[in-house]
Chains A and B, each alone.
Chain A
Amino acid sequence: MAASATGSRDTGPAAAADDRWRWFRGQAFWLVAPALLLLVVCLGLPLAIVTLRSFSEPQWGWQNYVWFFGTPVNLTVLQRTFAISAWVTLVCLIAGYPYAYVMTVVGPKMRLVLILCVLVPFWVSGVVRTLAWVILLQDSGVINSVIRSVGLGPVKLIRTQTGVVIGMAQVLLPFMILPLYSVMKAIDLRLLQAARSLGASPARAFAQVYLPLSLPGVYAGAIIVFILALGFYITPALLGGPRSTMLSTLIQNQVLSLLNWGRGGAMGVVLLIATFVLLALAAPLSRQPHKTGSRR
């Protein structure tokens, strides 16, 4: 309208506003500069140095990688790291899926309570939380006394893989629940009513309509939890034993105890590359052949 009122000259107020906007968009790049700087200095640079040292210490070459893949215990730990992360992801999914669903159907007050329950652990230091798990899981701890009181023998939880999985799943659960919730709250529950009217039992309506529509959330949550679990250090170090060592503990050992930056760096690079490969494999899964639901 404005352009036609002032004629179609480029010097009209509309054109000027347009120019200003284009200029602003050009400058908008600088808004991300601080974050970018932080990433480059605090993440990119150290990563580059670690990678470099994995090839340069003690001398130039592949020796650290040859050592890593030539030492059976490293491979066992690598495999175990992936296995524990997979278990943690599964436990988080099983616990988080119904929780996230309930968050979408309750009233706003109850939803706030549920969100708080998810987030409160975030506000407690990871070390404190993990030490709490030590108390709960130890042989004479609360969980074992309950198990014993119902007549089942003591179960070894502390310093086992089970203990590590329990502790890590609790820490990582919010990272599963929040992406699930954000996808689920966009699913139109009236679609389930439509499915019922077409002859689907509640179970079938869930399996054929709700579940497929919630899968993007499942993939997102699973990938975040799995990747975070791969690099976990404090929880497995405090709750685990020698049979549940994860790669991060080995790296810490090499770097801080043995001061072998070359080997530690190589381990880190292997973990990083394994993670990227996994992400690349999972990417096609999270791509959906449709756009989001028709909720209005």
Chain B
Amino acid sequence: MASPSTRGAAIDLKSVSKHYGSFIALDEVSLRIEPGEFMTLLGPSGSGKTTTLNIIAGFTEVSSGSLDVGGKSVIGVPAHKRNTGVVFQHYALFPHMTVSRNVAYPLSLRGIANPDREARVRKALDMVKMTDFGHRFPSELSGGQQQRVALARAIVFDPPLLLMDEPLGALDKKLREWLQLEIKRIHRELGTTFVYVTHDQEEALVLSDRIAVFNQGRIEQIGSGRQLYDEPETLFVGKFVGDSTILRGAPSTSGDETAIDIAGRKVTTAKRLPGGAKPAMLLRPEKLSLARRGMGGRDKNTLPGRIGEAIYLGSGSKYEVVLADMSKAIVRSTLDAETFAIGDEVDLIFAGSDVKLLADDDKADLNLT
């Protein structure tokens, strides 16, 4: 945590489930969020992340399980009594009120009168850099401006908890990247607990102290961005967070070593999967290197392939390599490395120690587009 502020509330979900008829939206989810933490709920659509947010906000009741905010159970407490700020993807500014009146609204509801109210509205608008827009109507603002006003409205009453549901989802990339930094700054300045829902893993990495990766109504893994990238516990997490290459094939084990057969060529790693699960190998792009066919890497794993796509990134290049079994590998190389063209015959080279050996489950094959 950046600051030892105690203004943020802790959130504790224990075995929370949500059923809609026979559909299980959320299946026994447990998650503890520390006071002042920036926690991101990351996952594809329908994974349960928004349901979790709605349960914390009080918009959705749990089917079973417990939810404590700030040490007190809030099960059965209606949304308007939870004192929780919420920022929506669709902004949800009141179109019949000016920016100032929108931001003043939660203060009016709490019986805070002028001049205190005006001062706090101003302070909140200052914080999101919308000071001069108070007299405008939402329809006169751009999407990014509307979302900043919505953010001001959600923090003006000093909630100990701020929930954000894909707040940047409707904005273009440049604006999104800039607002990410703004949100990070505001989090640092306020010390409020932030819970942020997104399906964009890059956004999650930029913003979060910790990330909870959701898939099919369950949490796959909770950890910092670095932990999720370096030590994914499931194949789904490995695929969802960051670029990755996944090698699958007939497995064999001997001693402490696992080998996978890919179109007649064996790759090995000195690791073993506990239990009897079918292993798959996961490799990050920077752990892979390329050489012209037959030009090195004798002591390492090598797989023959052909360059399917070559993308120049400025700081280096990104290659998509089609392997013998038609699966694709993603390789990132630095500027000084040898360059390849589409169609070049290459060897894909990696050390067995850089392999993440993970259980190959069907859940990981979810289409992530």
Contact = CB atoms under 8 A, between A and B. Distances in A.
Contacts of A288: 96
A196 interface: yes
A212 B106 CA distance: 17
B80 A294 contact: no
A291 B106 contact: no
A213 B86 contact: no
Interface stretch (A154-162, A165-173, A197-205, A238-246): A197-205
A292 interface: yes
B83 A199 contact: yes
Given A197-B86, A198-B105, A289-B96, A294 B110 contact: no
A191 interface: yes
Greatest chain A CB density within 10 A among B78, B86, B94 is at B94
A293 interface: yes
Contact of B157 (A191, A199, A202): A199
A290 B109 contact: no
Contact of B95 (A190, A195, A292, A296): A292
A198 B106 contact: yes
B289 interface: no
A128 B139 CA distance: 49
B109 A200 contact: yes
Given A197-B84, A200-B80, A291 B92 contact: no
A291 B94 contact: no
Contacts of B96: 209, 212-213, 288-290
A282 to B, nearest CB: 19
B103 to A, nearest CB: 10
Nearest to B91: A294
A196 B79 contact: yes
Contacts of B92: 188, 190-191, 193-194, 294
Contacts of A194: 86, 88, 92-94
Contacts of A205: 80
Nearest to B103: A198
Nearest to B59: A193
Q: Is the interface of B mostly helix, strand, loop or mixed?
A: loop
A199 B80 CA distance: 4
A293 B97 CA distance: 11
Greatest chain A CB density within 10 A among B105, B138, B157 is at B105
Contacts of B58: 196-197
Nearest to B137: A290
Contact of B90 (A190, A208, A291): A190
A198 B153 contact: yes
B80 A291 contact: no
Contacts of A212: 96
Contacts of B81: 199
B80 A196 contact: yes
B133 to A, nearest CB: 15
B57 interface: yes
Interface residues of B, number: 32
B85 interface: yes
A188 B138 CA distance: 14
A198 B157 contact: yes
B281 to A, nearest CB: 43
Nearest to A204: B109
B95 A213 contact: yes
Nearest to B93: A294
Interface string A254-296: 0000000000000000000000000000000000111111101
A195 B86 CA distance: 10
Contacts of A193: 59, 79, 88, 92
Greatest chain B CB density within 10 A among A194, A293, A294, A296 is at A194
B5 to A, nearest CB: 22
Contact of B139 (A209, A213, A294, A296): A294
Interface string B34-62: 00000000000000000000000111000
Contacts of A188: 90, 92
Contacts of B110: 199
Contacts of A292: 95, 139
A293 B106 CA distance: 20
Interface in B155-172: 157, 170
Nearest to A292: B95
A296 B90 contact: yes
A296 B92 CA distance: 11
A212 B94 CA distance: 10
A209 B106 CA distance: 13
A213 B153 CA distance: 19
Interface string A188-231: 10110111111111101100110011000000000000000000
29 contacts: A188-B90, A191-B92, A191-B95, A193-B59, A193-B79, A195-B105, A196-B79, A196-B80, A197-B57, A197-B85, A198-B80, A198-B85, A198-B153, A198-B157, A200-B105, A201-B78, A201-B80, A205-B80, A209-B96, A213-B95, A213-B96, A290-B137, A291-B95, A292-B139, A293-B95, A294-B90, A294-B91, A294-B93, A296-B170
Would you list the 10 A-B pairs with minimal beta carbon distance, nearest first? A194-B92, A197-B86, A198-B106, A291-B139, A199-B109, A196-B79, A293-B95, A196-B80, A290-B137, A212-B96
Given A188-B92, A197-B82, A202-B80, 18 more contacts: A190-B92, A191-B95, A193-B79, A193-B88, A193-B92, A194-B88, A194-B92, A194-B93, A194-B94, A195-B94, A197-B58, A197-B59, A197-B154, A198-B80, A199-B157, A201-B78, A288-B96, A290-B95
